Structure 1
């Protein structure tokens, strides 16, 4: 575990005093928050994440090259001054390059304040499925920029921006691996989304001319629903664990405010008619940290390990609450992590004491005692193979795409495109909506540059997919976003494979939708992507003994030497937000080179030759791009799939190709290789068998 806190500590009194409009709001008394850490001068979201990973690796027995998977989980992507809220390349691929994590598959996810526990949930599936050994989850939350915007905009004590004043900044990282002893680790983790309430908390760029971003929260509604339903879920899990009051040493929920934490305890105790939760086992960590968003649980256990409250062998229950509304409960038992962390900190304190007298040590004054060397990217990038034989197939149950005519009939909205294609997918699917266990959204460019909640939760609410169910319902849907540029769809497929292979879920829907954010802005260039949407349902077949259509393998390849060839982020001018991007004129040449290398390594890894592949679908960036790649790989015209238009199909490229191939070659026995390439540079390879 590693936690990084920016050095500047700001009292609540200063936060209130800095509001442009004088408000009489007792922030400290109502929330219990006295201080919070604030970044934003020289450190931003990715910096907090990077420092947390360094601290985590320094305390780990694993070397950087032993990390198999990186999941970046933050809401905030505010990565540089003047509101550089980044989209591509992903945070995870940048950390992979910066910190020498050269063996790791990587992608970003987004799920509001449930982000890190969504990462835990995904890591658990990858580990149980045997796809990876060591997973790094990380979040760098520079979110007090919302506080600064709110200070300029809040009108009175009832303003829906008030929750922005409770925030604090932090970075957290954890390495997860399979426990060698069933007594320790996560005994269970269940998360689900009550998407009926996805409008309770919205974060997006502000419309004010001062710029920045803002979070609009219906605090009473979100806390009422989240606490009420979380209490039911917590009680359900406590009964399953059969933990007594004496054995439950700690309970930590999302750290928003002292009142919310106390109310959950009160309702749990009311059910038990006893003090199941009280100050002896409830962790209140908001006083000096505030609400640090997706990192709150990990900051809380870090602080309470270092202050000697949490001991080896202690049982703890994590309760997850986030906008969306996403809920979860995870009972956990500590191994020797507390002692290991405390021993490391004691050792570091001794080193720092020696360091204060440079004459007595071999280290120069001011040199950091904790460091992880940055490994330069090599020309020979690695292909991460996550495919193994399994006793069942993962197959496409149904897939839908929108035509140009269908898009033209809709408002200019990625969310509306996605809602339309989800309905279209269910119209051709044999599954009822309640059978969808997981909804993943893999689109990048969205309405109003929304950053919270997860777009997946909005879509589940709009289409009524188990949007308001009790915790004991047999049908619940978990929703989150995967963000990794045009490779995001295949990353979402790898998430689905892990969930399905671990037999935690049966049916997963993956949705993509894209819009040109600059379409109606004079003087701002479009990115050049197709405005469309796709929906794909992946299912786990029950019988693997007979031949079945399905995914044979998904692999990923990285060429980090080209990571700076494309960069996109939000820009702002006079209250208008737009997509700002820079593209290396040689970007598509880098894509061609990297894709050719990836395909060569993929075939070697899968022990395949070119004559064994019946169909090849390159990334559908443009007709010229597809043809040039076909020529470079010497693909015969009859094998080459070219659906490309003059605009990049982007996140829709793979699902468009899969839909086309299923219509043309269903039950043909054909083996198809579908490729994706995106910023980073990253290449995804999907092998699909049409039986």
Structure 2
């Protein structure tokens, strides 16, 4: 399959960019309300007979209790991220918001002013350039790609990428319409709410930081997952051809992952932690089995799974999981971590970085 990767940019005249970007701190904000899968399925209008927990491995997810919004979750995550960083809010030269949902009050999508501006003002980042990026569930990794390239080229020293997803309303709406396991709204019942933020900065001399990033779009799959405003319900509805989407991902991800690893002369065995997009436990396990068969190896420590506790938190999923691993002490300085995005489009993204001592030490087990 011919593919084109959009890789991290080089400097002038094709020379290597003068700097390396690194992850300095990661923050998250989780709603306090836990919604068990059994409770959610008990709320469906129709008797579906679906054992969603067995099907997906999701026991529960965090959901807004009514007062958390996309904006408040993003602000909470940004504040948590700053609290773990040596940076002050006024040091940030860019704040980029990457959420799918942009709810600041009720279920009306905020268009202007940008969410990034509201987050920057709330945390005191008065000097930061602000803008929003939308790229479905690959949004935060796309924001990291953009900010990291600006750091590598020497345009800025540090910036924040943030997202807040109040996306569980899709599940509420789906519960009124799902009738059987073939329903195209069934994947909406896997969603959970969360905020996440990451600060990127220029790496000191000799620090590995972010080694590679890239994205590709397999556009022939673009209509496998579509969402639109609901006609008769608050918020939106999402329609997914889940089996077709999974088949496309299983066919394309191993090939593209191999291409990305080849670009930096590594194999999958050189990666200690792989954090995939958190769709379902079953999908992640099947995907890893295919990667193992296709690439001849797997991460030397673990593939990270958090979807069983938090659900699919859309654009925030990778950094909710990364924060979890750092706080639990499972990522050590020198470990290589791969983030693999899979988003509607079909968008496939990849980020490979080495965790340094400052990043690891700034995150304790405090949840």
Q: TM-score normalised to the size of structure 1? A: 0.48
Higher relative contact order (CA 8 A, sep 6+): 2
2:305 maps to 284
1:164-183 matches, within 5 Å, as: 164-183=188-207
Distance 1:335 1:277, change over 3 A: closer
The counterpart of 2:293, out of the listed 270, 274, 291, is 270
**Structure 2: gaps (5+ residues):** 1-25
Shift of 1:244: 5.5
For the pair 1:127 / 2:127, whether they are aligned, the reply is no
Shift of 1:24: 1.2
Q: Work out the CA distance in 2 between the residues paired with 1:86 and 1:18.
A: 29
Q: Is the contact made by 1:72 and 1:107 (CA closer than 8 Å) also made in structure 2?
A: yes
Shift of 1:4: 0.7
Q: Is the contact made by 1:255 and 1:290 (CA closer than 8 Å) also made in structure 2?
A: yes
Distance 1:105 1:11, change over 3 A: same
1:240-319 matches, within 5 Å, as: 240-243=263-266, 247-273=270-296, 275-277=297-299, 280-319=301-340
Q: Is the contact made by 1:269 and 1:277 (CA closer than 8 Å) also made in structure 2?
A: no
Distance 1:158 1:246, change over 3 A: closer
1:104-183 matches, within 5 Å, as: 104-183=128-207
Q: Is the contact made by 1:150 and 1:214 (CA closer than 8 Å) also made in structure 2?
A: yes
Shift of 1:277: 4.4
For the pair 1:10 / 2:35, whether they are aligned, the reply is yes
Distance 1:244 1:126, change over 3 A: closer
Q: Is the contact made by 1:235 and 1:268 (CA closer than 8 Å) also made in structure 2?
A: no
For the pair 1:339 / 2:364, whether they are aligned, the reply is no
**Per-residue deviation, residues 521-575 of structure 1 (Å, max 9, x unmatched):** xxxxxxxxxxxxxxxxxxxxxxxxxxxxxxxxxxxxxxxxxxxxxxxxxxxxxxx
**Per-residue deviation, residues 55-94 of structure 1 (Å, max 9, x unmatched):** 111111111111001100000112222x222111110111
Distance 1:183 1:98, change over 3 A: closer
2:349 maps to 328
1:59 maps to 84
SS at match of 1:9: strand
Q: Is the contact made by 1:230 and 1:328 (CA closer than 8 Å) also made in structure 2?
A: no
Shift of 1:155: 2.6
SS at match of 1:110: coil
CA RMSD of aligned residues (A): 1.7
1:627-638 matches, within 5 Å, as: none
Q: Is the contact made by 2:340 and 2:349 (CA closer than 8 Å) also made in structure 1?
A: yes
The counterpart of 2:119, out of the listed 95, 100, 119, is 95
**Per-residue deviation, residues 481-516 of structure 1 (Å, max 9, x unmatched):** xxxxxxxxxxxxxxxxxxxxxxxxxxxxxxxxxxxx
Q: Work out the CA distance in 2 between the residues paired with 1:40 and 1:233.
A: 39
Q: Aligned pairs, how many? A: 341
Shift of 1:246: 5.5
1:542-553 matches, within 5 Å, as: none
Shift of 1:223: 1.7
Q: Is the contact made by 1:186 and 1:331 (CA closer than 8 Å) also made in structure 2?
A: yes
SS at match of 1:187: strand
1:498-537 matches, within 5 Å, as: none
Q: Work out the CA distance in 2 between the residues paired with 1:197 and 1:98.
A: 38
Shift of 1:226: 2.2
**Structure 1: gaps (5+ residues):** 350-691
For the pair 1:191 / 2:215, whether they are aligned, the reply is yes
SS at match of 1:130: coil
Q: Work out the CA distance in 2 between the residues paired with 1:186 and 1:227.
A: 25
Shift of 1:183: 4.1
Q: Work out the CA distance in 2 between the residues paired with 1:246 and 1:232.
A: 16
Q: TM-score normalised to the size of structure 2? A: 0.89
2:19 maps to none
Q: Work out the CA distance in 1 between the residues paired with 2:235 and 2:178.
A: 14
SS at match of 2:223: coil
Q: Work out the CA distance in 2 between the residues paired with 1:243 and 1:165.
A: 37
1:549-560 matches, within 5 Å, as: none
SS at match of 1:86: coil
**Per-residue deviation, residues 180-218 of structure 1 (Å, max 9, x unmatched):** 1454211010112122221111111112x2333111111
